[in-house]
């Protein structure tokens, strides 16, 4: 298994650099690739800020990538829940934080917007001010 960087994920999704795309596809066809949650976090940022993908296209594109046969995610349940939460309106990083906080009794943040939004998306996890 080979862990991959953000740029491999982005190349596959945007298909914009023919030589790099060909190498990335070959890698995914010939090897299992391990995708770290941090690489997906950075991929979302690149796809949103540099390529202008909206939430729904982001979810569709990242889910399609994550569902490729040779792709192994570091934390599949967390990533899939975060993609769903992101598509519903949460910031992707915030969605990853909340999806990863399952073992906690509460999630503390100074972010008023996150506290307001989180309640309508999550059951059971208290999101509060410190």
Alpha carbons 74 and 35: distance in angstroms, whole number: 6
Q: Is the CATH number 3.40.50.1010 carried by domain 2-74?
A: yes
**Residue 119 predicted with pLDDT over 80:** no
**Where do the domains of the chain lie?**
2-74
What the block records as the tokens of 63 is: 């889910």
Query: What's the whole-model pTM score?
Result: 0.86
Using CA atoms, how far apart are residues 101 and 80, in angstroms rounded to an integer?
14
- 93-101 average pLDDT score: 89
Per residue in 63-93, pLDDT tens? 999 999 999 999 999 999 999 888 888 899 9
Q: Which two tokens stand for residue 113?
A: 């917007």
Helix orientation angle between 55-66 and 76-87, rounded to the nearest 10 degrees: 160
């Amino acid at each position: 298994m080979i862990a991959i960087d953000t740029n491999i994920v982005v190349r596959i999704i945007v298909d914009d650099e023919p030589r790099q795309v060909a190498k990335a596809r070959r890698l995914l066809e010939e090897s299992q690739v391990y995708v770290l949650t941090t690489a997906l976090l950075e991929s979302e940022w690149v796809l949103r800020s540099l390529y202008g993908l909206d939430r729904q296209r982001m979810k569709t594109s990242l889910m399609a990538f994550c569902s490729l046969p040779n792709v192994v995610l570091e934390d599949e349940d967390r990533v899939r829940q975060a993609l769903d939460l992101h598509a519903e309106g949460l910031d992707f990083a915030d969605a990853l934080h909340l999806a990863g906080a399952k073992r906690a009794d509460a999630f503390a943040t100074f972010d008023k917007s996150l506290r307001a939004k989180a309640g309508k998306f999550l059951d059971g996890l208290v999101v509060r001010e410190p």
